[in-house]
Structures are given as C-alpha cells and as structure tokens.
Amino acid sequence: MKLKYLEYFLVIADTGNITYAAQQLYLSQPNLTVAIKKLEEELGVTLFERQHKSVTLTAEGELLYRRLRPILKDLSNALEEVKDLGQKNDGVLKIGIPPMIGSFMIQPLLNHFRKENPAWELNIVEEGSVGLEHKLSKNELDMAIIIAHNTPSNLTAVPLMNVEYKACVPVGHRLAGHAQIAFEELQNESLIMMQLDSFHRQYITKQLEKQAITPHIVMSSNQVNNNLDMTVKTNSISFLLTPTPIQRNDIRLISLDPPVTATVAVVYPNNTYVNSTLKKLIAYLQELK
C-alpha cells in the first residue's frame, strides 16, 4: 500500500470534492480517481459515496479517516524531528497572518527570517484571524500571527503584544472632532469592514447588536489601503488596528467607547512538532513587543 494514496484519501475527505483535492495535490483528476480506486480495491471496501459534484465518506471511510489522520500526523512530526536533529538548513515555513497585522509585522518578520534562514522559504497565507484559526486546527499552517481570543484547546497561543482597534473617520465627517466614539453613535453610519473571517468585524458587529444597532455595512474587503481610500471617498467609517502604519491627513483615528483592545499572539497546533527554526522565530517575535 502506497503512503501517498493514504495522503490523497485525507485531502479528498477534507475537501469533499475530487476536483478541489486534485488542485491542492497538483494532480490531474483522472490520476487521483485511479489512485483512490486502487486504495479501495486493496482494502476491499468503498471509502466514498460518489455524488454529482461531491463525495462523502462511507462508514468504512469514516473509520479510516479517524484512525489515519493522527497516525500520519505522528509520522510527519517524526520526520520533522529527524530532519531537525540532522540540522536541516532549508525548507518551507507556512505562516498565516491577517492583512492588518501583516501591515506592521511582515517586514520585520521577513527581514529577520531571511537573515537567519537564507535557504528557507517563508510562505505567507493572508486571511482573517478566524479563518486562520480554522486552518491551524486542520494543520494547514505551521503557525499564525493572529488576534488570540478564546483560543481552542487544540492550539497553543504565545502572546506578543496588546493592540487597539480605532475608528477611521474622514476629517470632514460629523464625528471627526470627537475624542471617542460610542457604539450607539454609529447608528445609521455607513461602515466599511474587513471580511467575515476577521476578529474585529465579528467583535464590533456584536457590540453594535448589543446596542440594538444593525450595522450598515456598505463594503467589505481585506485590502487595508483600499478600505481607507473608500472610507474617505464615501464619507464612511472603517476600523484600523494600531499600530498599523497610516500616513495620510484626510483620516482621523479615534478610540471607541468602550475601547476595543485585543492580544496579538503566535498560535500553532498542539499536535505539531515545533522545529528549531520555528522556535527561534517565535522567540524573535516575542522580542518585538
């Protein structure tokens, strides 16, 4: 039995779609289908129920999935430990980081990483904190630098710094002269938000709903600079995480009342071997605070 067939099986089970799985594995769909068929023939069972555009696990497939995932993860960790023991000096580190945090963290992170690990590649995955947390839980990332809030028990969070979300208000806006902006003052205001997988959108939306305010979101985007441009052009209000760098005189940053604070942390899966490269990088990030 080929190990790669078992790895293919897990990817198909996770995606629920042969086409998507083939794209992730950089295989043609027919070749992937043949590989799974061979695995089923060798086991003497059917692992998937085939539908028009998706696949679901059979009872036998569910059993194999539950038993196989931790076994392959242990194998991956063992191989990483052996390579680490041999002082492997190249590889790929896959790190998740939200766009807003990335605006002030990616440059020092990359500069340090290139200096310390010239033969390694840093693969950055940009997504909101909530989405990245899901990816970590599925072992799709080595680590992420995210807003840590009620971190799941299967993940470890190492705090880096405390930050604050502020309202971005055009200088000509009626609220631009305020020292603070209460949530109830956002009633009927046009809001520009990050996308649904961001912590700040979920948190601010929840605070507005507590005040019986339905947020009037006119646009959502994970492009920080684009959001700021549209904030001014549409006389709307958006939100920014300090210390995100901003060099413009047409926007005022104003604290919310009550203030919205959060903790940026390095988060990684508990069941993943933390190699020496990752350990050194985490130690460096802790020094930045």
Domains of the chain from N-terminus onward? 3-85 (1.10.10.10), 91-161+264-287 (3.40.190.10), 162-263 (3.40.190.290)
Per-residue pLDDT averaged across 24-43, rounded?
92
Concatenate the DSSP letters of all residues of 169-237 into one string.
Answer: EETTSTTTT-SEEEGGGGTT-EEEE--TT-HHHHHHHHHHHHTT---EEEEE-S-HHHHHHHHHHTT-B
Q: Tell me the per-residue pLDDT of 249-259, one tens digit each, with 9 for 90 and over.
A: 999 999 999 99
Q: Tell me the per-residue pLDDT of 76-101, one tens digit each, with 9 for 90 and over.
A: 777 776 666 545 567 889 999 999 99
Q: Is 241 helix (H, G, I), strand (E, B) or coil?
A: strand
Q: Which of 78, 15, 117 is nearest to 272 (CA)?
A: 78
* Half-sphere exposure in the Cβ direction for 217 (13 Å, CA): 16
pLDDT at 1 over 80: no
Q: Which run of H or E residues covers position 264?
A: strand 251-269
Q: Tell me the per-residue pLDDT of 192-251, one tens digit each, with 9 for 90 and over.
A: 999 988 888 998 898 889 889 999 999 999 999 999 999 999 999 999 998 888 889 999
pLDDT at 160 over 90: yes
Cα–Cα distance between 164 and 180 in angstroms, integer?
13
| pLDDT confidence band for 185 (50 / 70 / 90) | very high
Per-residue pLDDT averaged across 186-196, rounded?
94
- The confidence score (pLDDT) of residue 35 equals 94
| pLDDT confidence band for 275 (50 / 70 / 90) | confident
- The confidence score (pLDDT) of residue 70 equals 86
**150 burial via Cβ count (<10 Å: 0-12, 13-18, 19+):** exposed
Q: Tell me the per-residue pLDDT of 37-81, one tens digit each, with 9 for 90 and over.
A: 999 999 999 999 988 778 999 999 999 999 998 888 878 777 776
124-127 long-range contacts, Cβ below 8 Å, gap at least 24? 124/95, 124/96, 124/97, 125/94, 125/95, 125/96, 125/97, 126/96, 126/97, 126/98, 126/99, 126/102, 126/222, 127/96, 127/98, 127/197, 127/222
- The confidence score (pLDDT) of residue 134 equals 92
| pLDDT confidence band for 274 (50 / 70 / 90) | confident
Angstrom CA distances, 253 to 179, 217, 237, stand at 10, 19, 10
- The confidence score (pLDDT) of residue 87 equals 59
Q: Tell me the per-residue pLDDT of 112-153, one tens digit each, with 9 for 90 and over.
A: 989 988 888 999 999 999 999 999 998 899 999 999 988 999
